[in-house]
Amino acid sequence: MAIAPDRQIFEAAASWYVQFQADPPTLAEQKAWQLWIDSDPAHLAAWNQMEQLQRHLGTLPQDLKRRALNNGQQRRQVLKLLLLAAGTGFVGWNVQQHTSLGNVWADYKTGVGQRRNITLADGSLIQLNTDTAIDVSFDPTQRLIRLRSGEILIQTGKLGDQRPFFVETRDGRIQALGTRFSVHQLSSSTRVGVLEDRVSVQPGDTSTAAKILQAGEGTDFDRQHIGLIHPFKPSEVAWINGQLIVLDARLGDVIEELGRYRSGVLHCDARARELRVSGTFRLNSTDAVLANLQASLPINVRYFTRYWVSISHNA
């Protein structure tokens, strides 16, 4: 049976990804990969899907990930895993739309590195961060925002609308209680932070009691559990101003966050990940941020291609 063109493209992107995860690309491989990327917009779109899948693969235990990339047979198993994940809607692929299937019909969305502001009929303001998709559903009984993926900051309207205001994720619902708050869909949970007033967090398993968060508080929750409440600072939503603000953070965490704002792979080795960094960085120029980090830390930043960057400790 012939493989459908969309699967062929995705399989090629997955093959490149698995190969480069196992071994740094040679110069010839870099050139071949770049030619493949440049030859068809669908190739770049498929490669961008690998970035999303990489985040999910990265949640596996490191020893499992390392063993899975040690030899040809196990590489093929990882390739099958990637294709299965895409085919079952874990990310999804549609060659005509060049985006994940789940977000094709979203009411509002942003691409990688983009931000967008939406004003709703009730006067509420929603700010969409990078690679975000939402649906808006207002009816006579409620105001509902479905966060398909990504991160939003919401300022509920001040027009006296009495209908309850909800944000729904795959993990549950957050009800706004006259507030300004952030919601971020992570790979296996939802992160909520409150800047003004209060919200109520209700996991999808309604046998779990809801929890009220006050201004300055945040938590992560999944369908069955609500995590510990922790402080939530305005600097955590500095992205609305195009900034990333960190104080004594692990470089690995900073690199992962920067990776949300650029297409392709941004890889950091184990030693470099443990370096500490503080600063305010501009998200609209991640290359400049990487150059600044290289100038101030004992690291090397290598561009195999414009879509594949490797960061290593140079000591």
pLDDT in tens, 198-215: 999 999 988 889 999 999
Task: Please list the residues that pair with 136 across neighbouring strands.
Answer: 145
For every residue of 4-44, DSSP letters joined together read PHHHHHHHHHHHHHHHHHHSPPPHHHHHHHHHHHHT-HHHH
Q: Are 221 and 192 in contact (CB under 8 A)?
A: yes
**Which pair of structure tokens corresponds to residue 40?**
């068809």
Please report the pLDDT score of residue 62 as a whole number: 46
Is residue 158 packed enough to be buried (19+ CB in 10 Å), middle (13-18) or exposed (0-12)? exposed
Summarised one tens digit per residue, pLDDT across range 232-262 is 999 999 999 999 999 999 999 999 999 999 8
278 or 27, which is more confident? 278
Of 244, 237, 234, 241, whose CA–CA distance to 289 is shortest? Answer: 244
Categorise residue 261: left if φ over 0, alpha if ψ from -120 to 50, beta otherwise: alpha
Strands 265-268 and 308-313 come out as parallel
How many residues are recorded in the chain?
315
d(CA 182, CA 127): 9
3-class secondary structure, 263: coil
Q: How many CB atoms lie within 10 A of CB 280?
A: 12
Q: What is the mean pLDDT of the chain?
A: 82
pLDDT-derived band of residue 6, with 50, 70 and 90 as boundaries? Answer: low
d(CA 74, CA 55): 19
pLDDT greater than 70 at residue 75: no
Place of tokens 């491989």: 29
Q: 37-51, 109-123, 148-162: which range is least confident on average?
A: 37-51
pLDDT mean over 80-104 = 48
**Which pair of structure tokens corresponds to residue 160?**
């006296």
Of 91, 84, 105, whose CA–CA distance to 52 is shortest? Answer: 91
Of 228, 236, 238, whose CA–CA distance to 201 is shortest? Answer: 228
Q: Fold for domain 106-236?
A: Jelly Rolls (2.60.120)
Summarised one tens digit per residue, pLDDT across range 10-26 is 777 777 776 676 566 77
Q: Are 147 and 186 in contact (CB under 8 A)?
A: no
Q: Fold for domain 242-313?
A: Phage tail protein beta-alpha-beta fold (3.55.50)
pLDDT greater than 70 at residue 33: yes
Summarised one tens digit per residue, pLDDT across range 131-155 is 999 999 988 899 999 999 999 999 9
Task: Please list the residues that pair with 139 across neighbouring strands.
Answer: 142
pLDDT greater than 90 at residue 171: yes
